[in-house]
Structure 1
Amino acid sequence: MVKRTKKEFHDYNDFHDRPFGLKWGTAYAMDDLMKGVIANEEYALKNNAAKPLLSREEIDIVLSESFLKRKEVTLQLNIVDEFGRLVDEISGYFSGEAYQDYFVFEDQKIDWQDVRNVSIVDNSKWYKVDMFKSPKKDSLNTEAKFDPELQLEKDNEFYQPFYEEGENHESE
């Protein structure tokens, strides 16, 4: 059986150890402390940009489409926090429950007058998005327009015709 000695920390030059037994007690809490500091900094610096204010009819149209086509929407409320910033947006699905003064969204009662903006979330997969498709259908004409006065010019010095089947070639 090995006999162990008590760990003792002796002062060295101007270094004085802590008077309690746990020497590195705060070292493990540093990660949690820094996560809290970073989260507080992000909260203090965030600023939610105000979206355009929609009318009741425009809000009804978007919520109706969300309900009928089962699309996810985001709500921006016209409510500010204690620092005067707009509160974070709420995302979810509209269940269709609406009344004269309020509607229910994600099990929350929301007054019509508190809604600033409603928009449908585009959940298109990145690999299904057509990068060359115009967002406006009529903005680009799909037919190519060619000027009849343009002529194809070829430099005969460097031009080589393509191999055409059926031609007699000396290598055959």
Structure 2
Amino acid sequence: MARRGKHFTDYNAYHDRGFHLKWRTAFALDELVQSIEGNIKEDQKDNVKEAQMSAQAISQVLYQAYVYRRPVEFQLNRYDRLGRIWDKRQAYFKGFWDARGLWLDGDFYPWEDLRHIRLLPYQKWSK
């Protein structure tokens, strides 16, 4: 029995795009899918609104953060375009403040924008 090479005949007008074109479009589709998944996560998040702290309680937390050089996590009285409260942020308090507000990692925040602040646990520098 003699072996013959396979012969394919086109039964319709389909022509493969080739590997090079598929490779380029695969990256674009991957970026699109990641963007869509990121948008879905962003739309479904629901930040918990922490209790409004008094000025005295905020100053006690900031004092401890400054003395013990520990980071703080804070929530602002700011809302996004959908009416949800902003994500919590983390920063170090280096002792810079005045009657208008305070600076956390170089960013200025007015006192009335601070909703809740707490000390974060100590983290070893090597981790």
- State TM-score, norm by structure 2: 0.79
Q: How far is the alpha carbon of 1:65 from its aligned partner?
A: 0.6
Partner of 2:91: 92
Q: Match of 1:110, SS?
A: strand
Structure ranking higher on relative contact order (CA contacts 8 Å, 6+ apart): 2
Residues 120, 11 of structure 1: CA spacing in aligned structure 2 closer, same or farther, 3 A cutoff?
farther
Give the number of aligned pairs: 115
The 5-angstrom pairing of residues 49-68 of structure 1 reads 49-68=48-67
Q: Distance in 2 between matches of 1:18 and 1:82?
A: 45
Q: How far is the alpha carbon of 1:16 from its aligned partner?
A: 3.3
Q: Distance in 1 between matches of 2:118 and 2:14?
A: 62
C-alpha deviations, 1:110-157, integer Å up to 9, x for none?
Answer: 0000000000112368xxxxxxxxxxxxxxxxxxxxxxxxxxxxxxxx
Q: Distance in 1 between matches of 2:108 and 2:63?
A: 17
Choose 1 or 2 for highest CA Rg: 1
Q: How far is the alpha carbon of 1:28 from its aligned partner?
A: 2.9
Residues 66, 23 of structure 1: CA spacing in aligned structure 2 closer, same or farther, 3 A cutoff?
closer
Q: Distance in 2 between matches of 1:39 and 1:28?
A: 16
Q: Which runs of 5+ in 2 are unaligned?
A: 1-8
Q: How far is the alpha carbon of 1:29 from its aligned partner?
A: 2.1
The 5-angstrom pairing of residues 1-172 of structure 1 reads 12-13=11-12, 16-17=14-15, 23-24=21-22, 25-123=24-122
- State TM-score, norm by structure 1: 0.59
Q: Which runs of 5+ in 1 are unaligned?
A: 1-9, 126-172
Letter in 2 for 1:71: R
Q: Match of 1:26, SS?
A: helix
Q: Decide which structure has greater helix share.
A: 2
Q: Percent identity?
A: 27
Q: Kindly report the root-mean-square deviation, in angstroms, between the aligned alpha carbons of the 2 structures.
A: 2.5
Residues 16, 102 of structure 1: CA spacing in aligned structure 2 closer, same or farther, 3 A cutoff?
same
Q: Distance in 2 between matches of 1:61 and 1:49?
A: 23
Q: How far is the alpha carbon of 1:11 from its aligned partner?
A: 5.7
Q: Distance in 2 between matches of 1:87 and 1:124?
A: 25
Q: Match of 2:32, SS?
A: helix
Q: Decide which structure has greater strand share.
A: 2
